[in-house]
Amino acid sequence: MVIARLAGSGCAFPARLEQDVLWDEFFAPRLGHSRVAERLFRAAGVRHRHGVANPLEEDVSQWSTSQRMERFIADAPALGAEAVAAALADAGLDASEVGMFAVASCTGYSTPGLDIRVASALGMPDDVQRLLIGHMGCYAALPGLGAVSDYVVARRRPAVLLCLELTSLHAQPATGDLSQVVTHALFADAAAAVVLRPTGPGPGVVDIAARTDSATAGHMRWEVTDQGFRMGLSPEVPAVLGRHVGPVVTRLLEEHDLAVSDIGAWAVHPGGPRILEIVEHRLELPPGALGVSHGVLRERGNCSSATVLVILDELLRGGQSKTGKPAVMMAFGPGLTLYTALLSRPD
């Protein structure tokens, strides 16, 4: 079977923020020092994260959507170019060799878009094919990975996928809505990129699978408002995902004559600590199987679509992908939607 190979990866992050300091100096005073809100904030499992907008220096919660989009396009291109340049260097490729460039983001838009700006900054050819994946949320990396993989197999040329999210630009005004406390505690900024090529020693993208439970679509929302994009999260999300993760992963693996015990590495999007616990329990994973996912949540936060690529980057650099076994990527988002990808062992 002909499959696209993961040839390189790279990440870029804006300034580092201390979670406890953010609570003590910014959120606590605005939420009336609520003990309930503090428990929810500290239970997010995040110690550090990154953001282009540090609320201790500038409070963007009252900004208009127009102001937030202007700031996105001011900060996003350089961050995206840094991540893509790192991935190309890791792959040993020049930007001029890229045949397709896909960009996923749900936190900022402009025309000319981020895809055009980054491609131009790095010197990609003027005939590079581009794809912009917008507003899919936290799982967007995996349909993006599927699209660029198909291009590589069909055209036999390298392709790049960039996921870039600046969630810090969408801080909302303080309200009594406790789901907003969870949102403000979890989400962070990052850019992550992968390079795929038709041949090479890296893991191969074997298959992509998805399932959307449209009956529970209202449990997770990402709404465009006059004051930025507003996240809506239901506490039922982990339970809904728990109903689907086992059947979806089992079916994907069985189609390739594999079982959970055959998987050597897991890159699971940490929507929150409870979601990781659900995945561990439903799939009966051994202790430590999701250690990298927990670590990224703790030190980077939930970076929306970029997160699963950040986890993959750490797995690749840490040698966990070189176990001689296949790997599975998994991400969740609005819909409710579950996406999974099966990667072959590196050649």
Taking only the tens place, the pLDDT of each residue in 83-116 is: 999 999 999 999 999 999 999 999 999 999 999 9
Q: How far is CA 158 from the centre of its chain?
A: 22
- Report phi then psi at 13, rounded to 5: -135, 140
Domain ranges of the chain: 5-197, 205-343
- Report phi then psi at 177, rounded to 5: -75, 110
Q: Which of 11, 106, 138, 163 is catalytic?
A: 138
Return the residue matching tokens 């900054």.
121
Q: For residue 320, what pLDDT band results from cuts at 50, 70 and 90? A: low
8 Å CB contact between 53 and 169: yes
The proportion of the chain whose per-residue pLDDT surpasses 70, expressed as a percent, equals 99
Greater model confidence, 324 or 136: 136
Quote the mean pLDDT of the chain.
Answer: 94
At 181 the three-state DSSP class reads helix
pLDDT tens across 190-224, in order? 999 999 999 998 999 999 999 998 888 888 888 99
Q: Is 163 a catalytic site residue?
A: no
- What is the C-alpha separation between 205 and 216, in angstroms, rounded? 29
In single-letter form, the type of residue at position 263 comes to I
Q: For residue 177, what pLDDT band results from cuts at 50, 70 and 90? A: confident
Class of the CATH domain delimited by 5-197: alpha beta
Report the CATH fold assignment for 205-343.
Peroxisomal Thiolase; Chain A, domain 1 (3.40.47)
- Assess whether the region 5-197 and the region 205-343 belong to the same CATH fold: yes
Mean pLDDT along residues 56-75: 97
- What is the C-alpha separation between 121 and 242, in angstroms, rounded? 42
8 Å CB contact between 99 and 129: yes
> Any residues with CB less than 8 A from the CB of 225 and at least 6 apart, and which?
65
